[in-house]
Amino acid sequence: MSASALHPCPLVYLLTASRSALAGIDLDIGQYRQLEQDIRDEGFNLKHICAPEQPADAQPADFPALLDAIPLDELTRARPRIVAFIYWLEHWEGIKDKQGQRCFAELHGGNSVIRNVLIQHFRGIPFLNINVAAKDLAGKWGVELECEKRKQELAEAQQAGPYFAWKFGVAIRELNQGMVRLPFAEQLQRPRVAAEPYDQLLASARALGIQHDTLARALAQAFPEGEPVEIVKCLTGQPGGGLSGALVFVARTRTAIPKLIKLCDWHTAQAEYEGARFVIGPRLTNFAAVTVTPGNDTGPSLFRETGSERALGLLVYTIVGTPGGDLSIRSLGHELTQLRTEPSRIDTLLPRLQQTLEQVLGQLHGRTPRLDKRTLWQWLGNVLPPLYRIELSDDSEATATTLVSYHAQGFKPESAALLAATDWRALTEGAVIELTDAPLVEIAMDANTVTVTHPDLGFRLNCVGSPINTLLKDRQDVKTGHPLRVRGRVTLAPPPDWVRALNADASVAWLLPQTWEAAARLPFALSFSGHAGAIHGDLNLDNLQFSDATHLGWLIDFERSVADGLIAFDFAKLEVELLAHQLIPALLTIAERFLHLVPDAPQLLTTILMSVNSFAGTPAAILPLWRTLARDRGLLIDCFEPGSLTHLEGLLTMLAAMRLRARTLLTTRHASDEPPDDLAMALTVYALVASKFADRAGYKQRVTYLQQVAEHYAQWWWLDDSASTADNADPAQVLAPHCRHVTPAAARAIDHYCYTVAQEPPTPSLLASVTRTLQGTVRPLTWPESATVWDVASTGCVANISPIVGYLWLMARRQQEADLIVPKSASQGASCGTVDVLAAGGYRFPDTPARIQQQVNEYGGVFCRQSDAIARVDRVTMRRRKARNLMKHPVLTLASILAKKQLLGDTHAVLDIKLGRDSKWIVSDPDQAARLCGTQTRHRTLHPEPDVIAALQAALAPMLGAPQTTQDNLLCYHDAAGIADTSIRELRVLASSADVPQGRAIGRLLILHQLDQTLSQDDPWSDWPAAYRTFYLETLKRACAVPETVSTAALGAAWQALKQQLPIFDASGGHEYKKLFEALRRVLNSDQPEQRHHAHPLLPEQAHADDVHVVSVCAPRAGHLNFLDAYALDALFEALCGNDLFDAAVGIWLHSLPGEPVTPARPLLTVFFRPATMPERTLGQRLDALLHDSAHIDPAAERDPA
């Protein structure tokens, strides 16, 4: 195995010179490029942060501008993958001498503003300076890269350079060697009295294979004052240690308070340090073990065993919240066990647990955790066993299928999961793959295994080789979460024995597939809702500790702590641990005791267990319930008196306290008899996975009941199959009953129906059936027989105006065809849907069939939104599709559109399918999906390339057959099989790109201004690039079958008629946005748009942070704008809206579109924003990144915009 088979790719951020300096101004660029190349050659991903351009007379540096250039939000998101910052101090904070040259005389990294800010925000990540002169700044606050000092040492190896004198990976490793290399003499000795803890420590160290010298060096690190160390307590090997196989003990000296010391595998120590420093520490100032790791504080101290390649990490903790002299620490598991002999302890233990759950865990989880959507394996992939195995190989002759992370390439998580699932399902067992950006989960050197996570789908893969540590043994910089590139043959991971023993008929057996084919059917991209936030990640009964000195418990062992995990898992882990180690054994004892009296005692045990796990909510409700069940089964009532079962009642009461806290934090509905969905999901998974401990003594019998717990909870979150078309002759009745009152069970039934449809191959009959199902029982609107009924629909994208322009073309056509009517169904969308654009202008949508017909009779056309009276089933189903990531399935998408057209009585429909990164059309064929979504080649014009249109036609063929006519990007289907049972006689499909802006405006009020500005001209779109003129004046007109005799003047007249229905254009009206709208129009209609370096209020009298402000940004250089990424603009617009998804006033105006010239003297775009939602500093960073990464400007001579 070579480095190409397993390749770590951690991130290094290089805070480099300004772009003008990098272009060669006052810089020997060759030396700098060598630095970059050296870092990349060692396997690091290098990302740049360019210094802002400083004015020539800047003296001193403009520190606010420098800080504004640091993308703290981006760095925070990337922090788990960052291995180091490298800072070019000279080009960020250097001053100039009298000759205007950069001068080092007053530079010192310790006084660096940027350095101090980054160290404060990202403590634990090394901050290295590029500097010709060596600086002695090693220590707690960072490390200087001492180039001159190392140059001589490495000269013979020809590795030295003036900017990068030693190997970067070696530098990172040496940061963690620690301050003390040799132990102090006589620091660790066996005491004459109370020697038991010392003896236990040495015995535990020997059992773990830790050398005495290593232990002595670790103590020298923990107690650098050199005083003799007293071993107070050895927790390894003791019940309630929560130790994960580590050597853990409490020690102290005469002058130092006791410290909790943990010595374990290096990568485990790194993971725990990350969890303690970045997850637990910032959120829990008390009642959690706090790291006081000595040395440079860039991670745990590194120790190498003498004569061994084994690397160990040292962590030193204080116990915040517990007095230093108190050592009476006991785990929750120990306390629960004590209830058997001291049942009265429940009176003190219960309130302590309740307050710990509320105050300690509550502070960690947050008071109002956010609700998020992810796939099952993104939530719990690190809990479920690895699904696949990769036999690492560097065989260059074998053709490998490259699998990329679509999310890393910029796709939204939902699209990334769908595309990744499409790629994965296309693999055959034994295929050679190369998987990029796979986060590292675990390294098991002894088993020659590295475990990684699929970057988009979340399941784990075991990577095996011989030996696996060839590459990683010297990579102490590689941490959990760092991305790897792996290459090899993929097979299904061999199921463990406990998986093979699982009942194949169990309803949860699908979670643990045992064949390649079964794994391929897993719902990889199906999303589930859950509360996300910081979690402990391993909250077992031993990791929650109690002391007599404090009322609240405190937490230890943070190697699985993450900042963005499933909060429900903490509660699920704690509950299953209580069941497995305490409650089920207690119930088993009862069953064994009374088996001779009650033949069905095991079944009674199951019944009691399930009743205990119902969501009754309080101890008072739980205890009588199981007593009643027991009494009904005929057990001797005397045996269930409180005095004889106090221990069991105590356990049940503790369980009730856990469940009540979980319900209080996680519930999103009022039903008290159901667990929250995410808690049920976590309980199902962990109760099932807990079966892996079946080989432990006394555990095997409990497994049966744990699996029953998993089965019990699966009913509350997995999809209900009560909605099925198999035995139902009338598709209209399949979903309609579930949509009348959407209970949780009804929602699961709808989800199951949609998921089942998504698993079936597309056919005309399937499309017709789903279309009929989504219509429900509502009767379609009826129109005169002579009428032709048209509508223009779109799959949507950011600031999409084709539905409105298409409607206007149809209304212009109606001026010559009186029998043509246009009832236009429209949708609301967070990216400026037709409904919210028109609603911003005051349009009044009819909400009943009668009012729709009334307005059609009055105007000839109408916009109507999806109301319950018209499309109840489709509306409810669409909400469920969004929740389950089923919005981009072709059959469901097309059927949803056709159902709405059928309900409005349409005879002709135009469908504009938007293609690109946010396409709502992701098919199961990987090649077609790649072309339609532009995963390899972006769609850079509104008109897709011929091969993309061919791929769309191929994707439609299974449902609609071949088009009767085609013309460029227009496909026409007449009486196609998939629509034969509908009123639609013709479906005209138009293909266009969503990767480019659809117009100049992104924002509700801005779109209204754009439509008025464009359509009020005698020659609409005359000042737009040719591609846009062609699309809106020719392509869309042809798609709507508008005769050539219909002029653009008729189009303008149609717009003027629609304006009459928009009060915002009424000069005398009192529309809520009228004042803002007029101010916005004044800014954009100015001959010389304002160019300001700083934002200002749109209305001078409204200058608060929650009022609208405006700022314009110029192009960074002159040239021709070839491409502007609409996907990036969509992300910026979403951020501008913040929590108010339908904020009408914010948005982006593009003064230049792709195909037009740009210049630094003229604004490229103007942004309308609210500082309370997005501060100006953050906006500036986003705009800088947008112009740098998403705007492609050809610096060649400006071209004719035509």
Domain boundaries, the chain: 6-175, 196-327, 386-494, 772-1059, 1072-1194
Confidence of residue 96 (pLDDT cuts 50, 70, 90): low
Does pLDDT of 1167 surpass 80?
yes
Average of per-residue pLDDT across 477-498: 86
Give the per-residue pLDDT at 238.
60
Confidence of residue 128 (pLDDT cuts 50, 70, 90): confident
* Of 172, 477, 74, 124, residue with least CA distance to 281: 124
Confidence of residue 857 (pLDDT cuts 50, 70, 90): very high
CA 870 → CA 733, 784, 901, distances in Å? Answer: 16, 19, 11
Give the per-residue pLDDT at 179.
37
d(CA 447, CA 469) in angstroms, rounded, equals 10
Return the minimum-mean-pLDDT range out of 85-89, 424-428, 771-775, 792-796.
85-89
User: How high is the mean pLDDT of the chain?
Assistant: 81
DSSP count for the chain of H helices, then E strands: 43, 40
Give the per-residue pLDDT at 183.
62
Give the per-residue pLDDT at 1145.
93
Give the per-residue pLDDT at 368.
87
Higher pLDDT pick, 631 / 739:
739
d(CA 869, CA 846) in angstroms, rounded, equals 11
Average of per-residue pLDDT across 604-617: 49
In contact, 735 and 773? CB cutoff 8 Å:
yes
Helix boundaries (H) for 356-436: 362-365, 376-380, 413-425
User: Cα dihedral angle (55, 56, 62, 67), rounded to 10 degrees?
Assistant: 60
Among the four given CATH numbers 3.30.1460, 2.60.120, 2.40.50, 2.60.98, the one describing domain 386-494? 2.40.50
Higher pLDDT pick, 637 / 738:
738
CA 285 → CA 277, 280, 314, 807, 1195, distances in Å? Answer: 11, 9, 22, 60, 54
Return the minimum-mean-pLDDT range out of 153-162, 200-209, 464-473, 1151-1160.
153-162
Most confident residue range from 469-478, 763-772, 1098-1107? 763-772
Give the per-residue pLDDT at 631.
46
Average of per-residue pLDDT across 1076-1083: 87
Does pLDDT of 637 surpass 50?
no
Annotate 629-680 with DSSP letters as a single string.
HHHHTT--GGGGSGGGSHHHHHHHHHHHHHHHHHHHHH--S--SSS--HHHH
d(CA 688, CA 130) in angstroms, rounded, equals 52
Give the per-residue pLDDT at 608.
52
Give the per-residue pLDDT at 876.
93
Does pLDDT of 1004 surpass 80?
yes
Give the per-residue pLDDT at 595.
52
Does pLDDT of 877 surpass 80?
yes
Higher pLDDT pick, 198 / 592:
198
In contact, 889 and 955? CB cutoff 8 Å:
no
Give the per-residue pLDDT at 754.
95
The encoded tokens of residue 868 equal 């319950």
**pLDDT tens per residue across span 565-610:** 999 999 999 999 998 898 888 777 766 665 554 445 455 555 555 5
Give the per-residue pLDDT at 667.
79
Confidence of residue 657 (pLDDT cuts 50, 70, 90): confident
Higher pLDDT pick, 1044 / 146:
1044
Give the per-residue pLDDT at 476.
59
Give the per-residue pLDDT at 35.
65
**pLDDT tens per residue across span 890-924:** 999 999 999 999 999 999 999 999 999 888 889 99
Helix, strand, coil in percent for the chain, rounding step 5: 40, 20, 40
**pLDDT tens per residue across span 272-316:** 888 888 899 889 878 877 777 655 566 788 787 777 777 888 888
d(CA 1007, CA 321) in angstroms, rounded, equals 57
Return the minimum-mean-pLDDT range out of 115-129, 177-191, 280-294, 790-804.
177-191
Return the minimum-mean-pLDDT range out of 68-82, 103-117, 203-217, 1134-1148.
103-117
**pLDDT tens per residue across span 334-351:** 899 888 888 888 889 999
Average of per-residue pLDDT across 1012-1035: 95
Confidence of residue 74 (pLDDT cuts 50, 70, 90): confident
Phi, psi at 809, each rounded to 5°: -65, -40
Amino acid, res. 609: L
Does pLDDT of 470 surpass 60?
no
**pLDDT tens per residue across span 225-249:** 778 899 988 888 765 444 567 899 9
Facing residues of 790 across strands? 908
Give the per-residue pLDDT at 299.
74
Confidence of residue 164 (pLDDT cuts 50, 70, 90): very low
Give the per-residue pLDDT at 1171.
93
Average of per-residue pLDDT across 622-635: 45
d(CA 164, CA 147) in angstroms, rounded, equals 6
d(CA 553, CA 330) in angstroms, rounded, equals 10
Average of per-residue pLDDT across 358-378: 93
Average of per-residue pLDDT across 1180-1186: 87
User: Domain 1072-1194, CATH 3.30.420.40 — does that match?
Assistant: no
Question: Three-state secondary structure along 25-58?
Answer: CCCCHHHHHHHHHHHHHCCCEEEEEECCCCCCCC
Among the four given CATH numbers 2.60.40, 3.40.50, 1.10.1060, 3.30.1490, the one describing domain 6-175? 3.40.50
Give the per-residue pLDDT at 145.
38
d(CA 240, CA 553) in angstroms, rounded, equals 13
In contact, 976 and 961? CB cutoff 8 Å:
yes
Question: Counting every residue, how long is the chain?
Answer: 1202
**pLDDT tens per residue across span 981-995:** 888 999 999 999 999
Average of per-residue pLDDT across 626-646: 46
Neighbours of 23 (CB within 10 A): 10
Average of per-residue pLDDT across 375-398: 90
User: For the structural domain made of 772-1059, what CATH number should be given?
Assistant: 3.40.1030.10
Return the minimum-mean-pLDDT range out of 9-13, 55-59, 137-141, 388-392.
137-141
